[in-house]
Amino acid sequence: MLPARYSRVLLNPRFVALLYAVLTLIVTAQHYLKGPQSYDNYKIFTWPFYHLLAGRDLYAEYPELYSAPFKYSPTFALAMGALAVLPDWLGLLLWNVLNNVVLFTAGRRLFPDARRSMLFLLLVLVDMMTALHNSQSNALLLGLMLWTYIHLEREKTGWAAVCVALAFFLKIYGLGIGLLFLLYPKQLARGLAWGLAATAVLAAAPLVVVSGTTLAGIYQSWYTVVSGFNTAVQLSLMGVLDTWLGISVWKPGVQAVGLLLLLLPLALYWRQRQHPDFRRLYVALIPVFLVVFNQAGESPMYIMPVAGFMFWWLHYRHTTPLATPLLVLVLLFTTFASTDLYPHSLRSGFFDTYKIKAAPMILVWALIQSQLLLFPRWRDRLAAASEAEAAGAEPVQQNIS
Protein backbone atom coordinates (compact mmCIF):
# COMPACT_ATOMS: atom_id res chain seq x y z
CA MET A 1 0.00 0.00 0.00
CA LEU A 2 2.89 2.32 0.89
CA PRO A 3 6.60 2.09 -0.01
CA ALA A 4 8.52 0.33 2.75
CA ARG A 5 10.64 3.36 3.65
CA TYR A 6 7.51 5.45 4.29
CA SER A 7 5.44 2.75 5.93
CA ARG A 8 8.10 2.12 8.57
CA VAL A 9 7.47 5.64 9.85
CA LEU A 10 3.88 6.45 8.87
CA LEU A 11 2.47 3.10 9.99
CA ASN A 12 4.40 2.98 13.23
CA PRO A 13 1.85 2.87 16.09
CA ARG A 14 3.90 5.32 18.17
CA PHE A 15 4.02 7.82 15.31
CA VAL A 16 0.26 7.60 14.72
CA ALA A 17 -0.48 7.89 18.45
CA LEU A 18 1.79 10.93 18.69
CA LEU A 19 0.13 12.47 15.62
CA TYR A 20 -3.33 12.05 17.15
CA ALA A 21 -2.13 13.48 20.48
CA VAL A 22 -0.41 16.52 18.96
CA LEU A 23 -3.35 17.36 16.69
CA THR A 24 -5.74 17.05 19.63
CA LEU A 25 -3.67 19.56 21.61
CA ILE A 26 -3.37 21.96 18.66
CA VAL A 27 -7.08 21.94 17.80
CA THR A 28 -8.08 22.35 21.44
CA ALA A 29 -5.72 25.29 21.95
CA GLN A 30 -6.79 26.90 18.67
CA HIS A 31 -10.48 26.92 19.55
CA TYR A 32 -10.06 27.78 23.23
CA LEU A 33 -7.94 30.81 22.38
CA LYS A 34 -10.56 32.03 19.90
CA GLY A 35 -13.13 32.22 22.67
CA PRO A 36 -16.37 30.42 23.66
CA GLN A 37 -18.04 31.06 20.31
CA SER A 38 -15.40 28.82 18.73
CA TYR A 39 -16.27 25.83 20.93
CA ASP A 40 -20.00 26.44 21.18
CA ASN A 41 -20.85 22.75 20.80
CA TYR A 42 -18.85 22.00 23.92
CA LYS A 43 -20.96 24.57 25.80
CA ILE A 44 -24.10 22.93 24.41
CA PHE A 45 -22.87 19.64 25.88
CA THR A 46 -21.85 20.92 29.32
CA TRP A 47 -24.38 23.58 30.35
CA PRO A 48 -27.37 21.16 30.42
CA PHE A 49 -25.75 19.51 33.45
CA TYR A 50 -26.56 22.64 35.44
CA HIS A 51 -30.06 22.76 33.95
CA LEU A 52 -30.50 19.15 35.06
CA LEU A 53 -29.43 19.99 38.61
CA ALA A 54 -31.90 22.89 38.66
CA GLY A 55 -34.74 20.79 37.24
CA ARG A 56 -35.04 23.00 34.16
CA ASP A 57 -36.04 21.92 30.67
CA LEU A 58 -32.83 20.66 29.06
CA TYR A 59 -34.25 21.16 25.58
CA ALA A 60 -35.39 24.78 25.81
CA GLU A 61 -33.36 27.43 24.04
CA TYR A 62 -30.77 29.34 26.08
CA PRO A 63 -29.30 31.82 23.57
CA GLU A 64 -27.40 33.64 26.30
CA LEU A 65 -25.41 30.44 26.96
CA TYR A 66 -25.15 28.65 23.60
CA SER A 67 -26.43 28.98 20.06
CA ALA A 68 -28.49 25.82 19.41
CA PRO A 69 -30.82 23.62 21.47
CA PHE A 70 -29.44 20.60 23.33
CA LYS A 71 -30.70 17.36 21.76
CA TYR A 72 -28.86 14.64 23.66
CA SER A 73 -30.09 12.36 26.44
CA PRO A 74 -30.40 13.42 30.10
CA THR A 75 -27.87 10.68 30.85
CA PHE A 76 -25.39 12.43 28.56
CA ALA A 77 -26.09 15.73 30.33
CA LEU A 78 -25.34 14.06 33.68
CA ALA A 79 -22.13 12.45 32.41
CA MET A 80 -20.87 15.75 31.00
CA GLY A 81 -21.06 17.17 34.51
CA ALA A 82 -17.61 15.69 35.08
CA LEU A 83 -16.30 18.18 32.50
CA ALA A 84 -18.74 21.02 33.19
CA VAL A 85 -17.25 21.67 36.64
CA LEU A 86 -13.75 22.08 35.18
CA PRO A 87 -12.27 25.21 33.60
CA ASP A 88 -13.18 25.36 29.91
CA TRP A 89 -9.61 24.84 28.72
CA LEU A 90 -9.26 21.63 30.69
CA GLY A 91 -12.76 20.34 30.06
CA LEU A 92 -12.50 20.95 26.31
CA LEU A 93 -9.13 19.23 26.21
CA LEU A 94 -10.38 16.18 28.11
CA TRP A 95 -13.49 16.01 25.91
CA ASN A 96 -11.38 15.95 22.75
CA VAL A 97 -8.96 13.46 24.32
CA LEU A 98 -11.86 11.16 25.25
CA ASN A 99 -13.16 11.21 21.68
CA ASN A 100 -9.79 10.39 20.18
CA VAL A 101 -8.70 7.83 22.76
CA VAL A 102 -11.86 5.77 22.22
CA LEU A 103 -11.44 6.01 18.43
CA PHE A 104 -7.69 5.35 18.44
CA THR A 105 -7.85 2.34 20.75
CA ALA A 106 -10.64 0.83 18.67
CA GLY A 107 -8.81 1.48 15.40
CA ARG A 108 -5.65 -0.02 16.88
CA ARG A 109 -7.49 -3.33 17.41
CA LEU A 110 -9.72 -3.29 14.34
CA PHE A 111 -7.42 -5.42 12.19
CA PRO A 112 -5.23 -8.37 13.17
CA ASP A 113 -2.17 -6.56 11.82
CA ALA A 114 -0.79 -3.19 12.89
CA ARG A 115 -0.16 -2.19 9.26
CA ARG A 116 -3.83 -1.93 8.33
CA SER A 117 -4.87 -0.65 11.75
CA MET A 118 -2.51 2.30 11.48
CA LEU A 119 -3.43 2.96 7.85
CA PHE A 120 -7.10 2.99 8.85
CA LEU A 121 -6.39 5.59 11.56
CA LEU A 122 -4.49 7.72 9.05
CA LEU A 123 -7.25 7.47 6.45
CA VAL A 124 -9.86 8.79 8.92
CA LEU A 125 -7.52 11.43 10.36
CA VAL A 126 -8.89 14.40 8.40
CA ASP A 127 -12.49 13.47 9.23
CA MET A 128 -11.47 13.10 12.86
CA MET A 129 -10.10 16.65 12.67
CA THR A 130 -13.37 17.90 11.19
CA ALA A 131 -15.27 16.43 14.14
CA LEU A 132 -12.67 17.79 16.57
CA HIS A 133 -12.85 21.31 15.12
CA ASN A 134 -16.58 21.22 15.86
CA SER A 135 -16.08 19.82 19.41
CA GLN A 136 -18.43 17.05 18.33
CA SER A 137 -19.05 13.56 19.70
CA ASN A 138 -18.88 11.69 16.40
CA ALA A 139 -15.39 10.25 16.92
CA LEU A 140 -16.54 8.91 20.29
CA LEU A 141 -19.67 7.41 18.73
CA LEU A 142 -17.63 5.80 15.95
CA GLY A 143 -15.23 4.40 18.51
CA LEU A 144 -18.10 2.82 20.46
CA MET A 145 -19.43 1.26 17.25
CA LEU A 146 -16.04 -0.23 16.40
CA TRP A 147 -15.59 -1.47 19.96
CA THR A 148 -18.97 -3.23 19.68
CA TYR A 149 -17.65 -5.25 16.73
CA ILE A 150 -14.29 -5.89 18.39
CA HIS A 151 -15.91 -7.18 21.58
CA LEU A 152 -18.29 -9.42 19.64
CA GLU A 153 -15.37 -10.91 17.73
CA ARG A 154 -13.65 -11.59 21.05
CA GLU A 155 -16.88 -13.00 22.56
CA LYS A 156 -16.97 -10.28 25.21
CA THR A 157 -20.74 -10.04 24.94
CA GLY A 158 -21.36 -7.87 27.99
CA TRP A 159 -18.89 -5.22 26.90
CA ALA A 160 -20.34 -5.20 23.38
CA ALA A 161 -23.82 -4.64 24.81
CA VAL A 162 -22.57 -1.83 27.07
CA CYS A 163 -21.00 -0.13 24.03
CA VAL A 164 -24.35 -0.27 22.20
CA ALA A 165 -26.16 1.20 25.21
CA LEU A 166 -23.59 3.99 25.52
CA ALA A 167 -23.88 4.71 21.80
CA PHE A 168 -27.66 4.95 22.14
CA PHE A 169 -27.50 7.45 25.00
CA LEU A 170 -24.90 9.45 23.09
CA LYS A 171 -26.98 9.61 19.90
CA ILE A 172 -30.16 7.63 19.38
CA TYR A 173 -29.14 6.31 15.97
CA GLY A 174 -26.08 4.78 17.63
CA LEU A 175 -28.43 1.95 18.55
CA GLY A 176 -28.15 0.83 14.92
CA ILE A 177 -24.80 -0.85 15.58
CA GLY A 178 -26.71 -3.30 17.78
CA LEU A 179 -27.78 -4.98 14.53
CA LEU A 180 -24.40 -6.74 14.64
CA PHE A 181 -25.69 -8.99 17.42
CA LEU A 182 -27.88 -10.75 14.83
CA LEU A 183 -24.66 -11.94 13.19
CA TYR A 184 -23.49 -13.59 16.41
CA PRO A 185 -26.42 -15.89 17.32
CA LYS A 186 -24.58 -17.57 20.19
CA GLN A 187 -24.21 -14.18 21.86
CA LEU A 188 -27.63 -12.77 20.98
CA ALA A 189 -29.65 -13.76 24.07
CA ARG A 190 -26.87 -12.85 26.49
CA GLY A 191 -26.27 -9.61 24.62
CA LEU A 192 -29.94 -8.68 24.82
CA ALA A 193 -29.94 -9.28 28.57
CA TRP A 194 -26.78 -7.25 29.08
CA GLY A 195 -28.07 -4.51 26.78
CA LEU A 196 -31.38 -4.16 28.61
CA ALA A 197 -29.60 -4.08 31.96
CA ALA A 198 -27.11 -1.45 30.78
CA THR A 199 -29.89 0.62 29.22
CA ALA A 200 -31.94 0.52 32.43
CA VAL A 201 -28.97 1.61 34.54
CA LEU A 202 -28.01 4.42 32.17
CA ALA A 203 -31.61 5.60 31.77
CA ALA A 204 -32.07 5.78 35.55
CA ALA A 205 -28.70 7.42 36.25
CA PRO A 206 -30.11 11.00 36.31
CA LEU A 207 -32.25 9.96 39.30
CA VAL A 208 -29.23 10.75 41.45
CA VAL A 209 -29.97 14.46 40.90
CA VAL A 210 -33.68 14.68 39.90
CA SER A 211 -36.96 13.08 40.94
CA GLY A 212 -38.66 10.34 38.96
CA THR A 213 -41.46 12.68 37.89
CA THR A 214 -39.01 15.30 36.67
CA LEU A 215 -36.95 12.71 34.81
CA ALA A 216 -40.05 11.33 33.08
CA GLY A 217 -40.86 14.83 31.84
CA ILE A 218 -37.30 15.31 30.62
CA TYR A 219 -37.44 12.08 28.64
CA GLN A 220 -40.73 13.16 27.10
CA SER A 221 -39.12 16.44 26.03
CA TRP A 222 -36.13 14.56 24.63
CA TYR A 223 -38.40 12.35 22.54
CA THR A 224 -40.25 15.40 21.20
CA VAL A 225 -37.01 17.13 20.22
CA VAL A 226 -35.42 14.10 18.59
CA SER A 227 -38.52 12.96 16.69
CA GLY A 228 -38.99 16.39 15.15
CA PHE A 229 -35.34 17.26 14.63
CA ASN A 230 -34.10 18.18 11.19
CA THR A 231 -31.38 20.42 9.80
CA ALA A 232 -31.15 22.79 6.88
CA VAL A 233 -27.92 21.05 5.88
CA GLN A 234 -29.34 17.61 5.11
CA LEU A 235 -26.12 15.96 3.95
CA SER A 236 -27.94 12.78 3.07
CA LEU A 237 -29.51 10.84 0.24
CA MET A 238 -32.69 12.84 0.72
CA GLY A 239 -30.77 16.11 0.49
CA VAL A 240 -29.04 15.00 -2.72
CA LEU A 241 -32.35 13.96 -4.31
CA ASP A 242 -33.81 17.34 -3.39
CA THR A 243 -30.95 19.54 -4.60
CA TRP A 244 -29.82 17.53 -7.63
CA LEU A 245 -33.13 16.31 -9.01
CA GLY A 246 -35.64 18.63 -7.36
CA ILE A 247 -37.39 15.63 -5.81
CA SER A 248 -38.87 16.45 -2.42
CA VAL A 249 -39.18 12.95 -0.98
CA TRP A 250 -41.05 11.68 2.03
CA LYS A 251 -38.07 11.10 4.31
CA PRO A 252 -39.58 8.30 6.44
CA GLY A 253 -40.40 6.41 3.26
CA VAL A 254 -36.85 6.66 1.92
CA GLN A 255 -35.47 5.64 5.32
CA ALA A 256 -37.83 2.67 5.45
CA VAL A 257 -36.63 1.47 2.03
CA GLY A 258 -33.02 1.86 3.15
CA LEU A 259 -33.70 -0.11 6.33
CA LEU A 260 -35.44 -2.85 4.36
CA LEU A 261 -32.44 -3.15 2.04
CA LEU A 262 -30.12 -3.22 5.06
CA LEU A 263 -32.03 -6.11 6.65
CA LEU A 264 -32.86 -8.03 3.47
CA PRO A 265 -29.51 -9.88 3.18
CA LEU A 266 -30.04 -11.22 6.70
CA ALA A 267 -33.36 -12.68 5.60
CA LEU A 268 -32.03 -14.00 2.29
CA TYR A 269 -28.79 -15.49 3.59
CA TRP A 270 -29.53 -16.26 7.23
CA ARG A 271 -27.19 -19.25 7.17
CA GLN A 272 -24.35 -17.01 6.05
CA ARG A 273 -24.63 -14.69 9.04
CA GLN A 274 -21.57 -16.18 10.76
CA HIS A 275 -19.39 -15.95 7.64
CA PRO A 276 -16.58 -13.46 8.48
CA ASP A 277 -16.92 -11.56 5.20
CA PHE A 278 -20.69 -11.26 5.61
CA ARG A 279 -20.10 -9.79 9.06
CA ARG A 280 -17.42 -7.40 7.84
CA LEU A 281 -19.66 -6.07 5.09
CA TYR A 282 -22.26 -5.22 7.73
CA VAL A 283 -19.63 -3.57 9.93
CA ALA A 284 -18.74 -1.38 6.94
CA LEU A 285 -22.32 -0.73 5.82
CA ILE A 286 -24.04 0.19 9.09
CA PRO A 287 -22.08 3.44 9.73
CA VAL A 288 -22.62 4.42 6.09
CA PHE A 289 -26.35 3.71 6.28
CA LEU A 290 -26.81 5.58 9.57
CA VAL A 291 -25.53 8.82 8.04
CA VAL A 292 -26.55 8.57 4.37
CA PHE A 293 -30.17 8.01 5.44
CA ASN A 294 -30.07 10.51 8.31
CA GLN A 295 -32.33 13.50 7.73
CA ALA A 296 -30.18 15.51 10.16
CA GLY A 297 -26.89 14.66 8.44
CA GLU A 298 -24.12 17.21 8.99
CA SER A 299 -20.47 17.45 8.00
CA PRO A 300 -18.85 16.26 11.30
CA MET A 301 -20.94 13.07 11.16
CA TYR A 302 -19.14 11.91 8.03
CA ILE A 303 -16.28 10.42 9.99
CA MET A 304 -18.62 7.43 10.46
CA PRO A 305 -19.39 6.55 6.82
CA VAL A 306 -15.81 7.36 5.82
CA ALA A 307 -14.58 4.93 8.48
CA GLY A 308 -17.04 2.31 7.22
CA PHE A 309 -15.71 2.72 3.70
CA MET A 310 -12.07 2.61 4.79
CA PHE A 311 -12.76 -0.57 6.75
CA TRP A 312 -14.27 -2.07 3.59
CA TRP A 313 -11.45 -0.78 1.39
CA LEU A 314 -8.71 -2.24 3.58
CA HIS A 315 -10.37 -5.64 3.34
CA TYR A 316 -11.97 -5.71 -0.10
CA ARG A 317 -10.35 -3.13 -2.40
CA HIS A 318 -9.32 -5.92 -4.78
CA THR A 319 -12.86 -7.22 -5.24
CA THR A 320 -13.81 -4.55 -7.77
CA PRO A 321 -12.05 -2.05 -10.07
CA LEU A 322 -14.37 0.59 -8.60
CA ALA A 323 -12.51 0.56 -5.28
CA THR A 324 -9.70 2.95 -6.22
CA PRO A 325 -11.93 5.50 -8.04
CA LEU A 326 -14.26 5.42 -5.05
CA LEU A 327 -11.35 6.05 -2.69
CA VAL A 328 -10.34 9.09 -4.75
CA LEU A 329 -13.91 10.42 -4.78
CA VAL A 330 -14.30 9.91 -1.03
CA LEU A 331 -11.03 11.66 -0.25
CA LEU A 332 -11.58 14.58 -2.62
CA PHE A 333 -15.28 15.25 -2.15
CA THR A 334 -16.13 13.88 1.30
CA THR A 335 -13.01 13.93 3.46
CA PHE A 336 -11.51 17.18 2.12
CA ALA A 337 -14.81 18.90 1.29
CA SER A 338 -14.82 20.82 4.59
CA THR A 339 -11.14 21.79 4.55
CA ASP A 340 -9.14 24.69 3.16
CA LEU A 341 -8.03 22.50 0.25
CA TYR A 342 -10.87 24.26 -1.58
CA PRO A 343 -11.53 28.02 -1.49
CA HIS A 344 -14.39 29.15 0.72
CA SER A 345 -16.41 30.38 -2.26
CA LEU A 346 -16.33 26.91 -3.82
CA ARG A 347 -17.22 25.20 -0.54
CA SER A 348 -20.16 27.48 0.25
CA GLY A 349 -21.38 28.11 -3.29
CA PHE A 350 -21.06 24.61 -4.71
CA PHE A 351 -20.16 21.90 -2.19
CA ASP A 352 -22.65 23.03 0.46
CA THR A 353 -25.39 23.97 -1.99
CA TYR A 354 -25.34 20.65 -3.83
CA LYS A 355 -24.54 18.37 -0.85
CA ILE A 356 -21.37 17.19 -2.60
CA LYS A 357 -19.97 15.68 0.60
CA ALA A 358 -22.78 13.09 0.63
CA ALA A 359 -22.52 12.00 -3.01
CA PRO A 360 -19.48 9.65 -2.80
CA MET A 361 -20.91 7.99 0.29
CA ILE A 362 -24.15 7.25 -1.56
CA LEU A 363 -22.05 5.41 -4.16
CA VAL A 364 -20.22 3.58 -1.35
CA TRP A 365 -23.54 2.59 0.20
CA ALA A 366 -24.77 1.25 -3.16
CA LEU A 367 -21.61 -0.84 -3.68
CA ILE A 368 -21.46 -2.43 -0.23
CA GLN A 369 -25.22 -2.95 -0.18
CA SER A 370 -25.05 -4.73 -3.54
CA GLN A 371 -22.27 -7.02 -2.30
CA LEU A 372 -24.49 -8.02 0.61
CA LEU A 373 -27.58 -8.49 -1.54
CA LEU A 374 -25.58 -10.69 -3.95
CA PHE A 375 -23.37 -12.23 -1.30
CA PRO A 376 -23.26 -15.80 -2.73
CA ARG A 377 -21.87 -14.40 -5.99
CA TRP A 378 -19.31 -12.23 -4.21
CA ARG A 379 -18.34 -14.65 -1.44
CA ASP A 380 -15.29 -16.27 -3.06
CA ARG A 381 -13.90 -12.99 -4.32
CA LEU A 382 -14.43 -11.34 -0.93
CA ALA A 383 -12.68 -14.20 0.86
CA ALA A 384 -9.72 -14.17 -1.55
CA ALA A 385 -9.30 -10.41 -1.25
CA SER A 386 -9.50 -10.44 2.54
CA GLU A 387 -7.00 -13.28 2.87
CA ALA A 388 -4.60 -11.58 0.48
CA GLU A 389 -4.85 -8.27 2.35
CA ALA A 390 -4.10 -10.06 5.62
CA ALA A 391 -1.03 -11.64 4.01
CA GLY A 392 0.03 -8.40 2.34
CA ALA A 393 -0.24 -9.89 -1.16
CA GLU A 394 -2.20 -9.16 -4.31
CA PRO A 395 -5.16 -11.56 -4.71
CA VAL A 396 -5.89 -13.51 -7.85
CA GLN A 397 -8.87 -11.87 -9.55
CA GLN A 398 -11.98 -14.01 -9.80
CA ASN A 399 -15.02 -13.56 -11.96
CA ILE A 400 -18.43 -13.15 -10.38
CA SER A 401 -20.73 -15.84 -11.68
What pLDDT digit, counting tens, does each position of 266-309 carry? 999 999 999 999 999 999 999 999 999 998 889 999 999 999 99
pLDDT digits (tens, 9 = 90+) for 223-254: 888 877 665 558 999 999 999 988 888 889 99
Nearest residue to 318 via CA among 252, 220, 214, 394: 394
How much of the chain, in percent, has pLDDT values that exceed 70? Answer: 95
- pLDDT at residue 394 in the model: 45
The DSSP line for 56-95 is: --TTS--TTT-SS---S-HHHHHHTHHHHTS-HHHHHHHH
The DSSP line for 114-165 is: HHHHHHHHHHTHHHHHHHHHTT-SHHHHHHHHHHHHHHHHTT-HHHHHHHHH
Rounded to whole angstroms, the Cα distance separating 255 from 259 reads 6
Best-predicted range by mean pLDDT among 52-56, 105-109, 233-237? 105-109
- pLDDT at residue 172 in the model: 94
CB-based contacts of 215: which residues, under 8 Å, 6+ apart? 74, 206, 207
Q: What average pLDDT does range 318-333 have in this prediction?
A: 97
pLDDT digits (tens, 9 = 90+) for 5-51: 677 889 999 999 999 999 999 999 999 999 999 999 999 999 999 99
Burial class (CB in 10 A: 0-12, 13-18, 19+), 57: middle
What's the mean per-residue pLDDT of the chain?
93
> How many other C-beta atoms lie within 10 A of the C-beta of residue 58?
23
What's the structural domain count of the chain?
Answer: 2
Q: What average pLDDT does range 345-355 have in this prediction?
A: 91
Among the three residues 228, 261, 277, which one is the final residue of a domain in this structure?
A: 228
The DSSP line for 268-319 is: HTGGGTT-HHHHHHHHHHHHHHHHHT-TT--GGGGHHHHHHHHHHHHHHGGG
Do 213 and 247 have their domain in common? no
Nearest residue to 328 via CA among 304, 345, 309, 315: 309
Do 248 and 99 have their domain in common? no
- Cα maximum dimension of the chain: 65
Do 214 and 321 have their domain in common? no
pLDDT > 50? residue 160: yes
Domain membership of residue 155 (yes or no) is: no
Do 285 and 218 have their domain in common? no
Do 247 and 280 have their domain in common? yes
Say whether pTM exceeds 0.85. yes
Residue numbers of the domain that contains 300? 230-394+397-401
CB-based contacts of 386: which residues, under 8 Å, 6+ apart? 276, 277, 280, 315, 316
